[in-house]
Amino acid sequence: MLSFYSHDHYCSGKEEYSKAPGKIYVTNDFIPQFFDQNTSIPSTVNLNSAKGKSHFHFDPVNNTITVKEKGFYFLQFSVQVFAAAGQANLPLKFELQRNGGTLINSQTSFNNNNFDVDYATSTLLLEELEKGDKIRLVLSGPSPFPQGRVTRLDFASVAIFEA
């Protein structure tokens, strides 16, 4: 049972983002990824580098983070997108998936306007993860992607750390 009473959990405010050994930060290192009418939705976001992998294994080929130790973890992601062409006010939806299923539906949904750069961060999720769970970041909407629309993903990151 997870409790947030002061005698169970103490934060001094001096922690970086977690003193616990179980943490990972994965990013795409600003390598752009494009989404258009030929993109199959949901579409996995390409990630290519990871830091602090003690309780996790990052597979850059399949863009998955595999949990090596069962526990309670905080999960959060960020994305930066640019609308290169097409429909204005396109509602984009990004989410984290565990083993192919949605952790929380519509984790981050926002309208992306033509020639606008949008940066969005998901809410901080607390989840119990099992050993062997595979986590991935996906663009899950709209489906299908509108004809003539091109969206460029400039940046993406996933942070997971022990609760």
Q: β-strands 150-162, 23-27: how paired?
A: antiparallel
Domains of the chain (ranges, CATH numbers): 23-162 (2.60.120.40)
Residue bearing tokens 């460029």: 152
**pLDDT tens digits, 32-69:** 999 999 999 999 999 998 988 789 999 999 999 999 99
Q: What is the largest CA-CA distance in the chain?
A: 56
How much is the pLDDT for 106? Answer: 53
How much is the pLDDT for 158? Answer: 94
pLDDT > 90 fraction of the chain, expressed in percent and rounded? 48
**pLDDT tens digits, 82-94:** 988 877 778 889 9
| Residue 138 in this model has a pLDDT that exceeds 90 | yes
Query: Structure pTM?
Result: 0.82
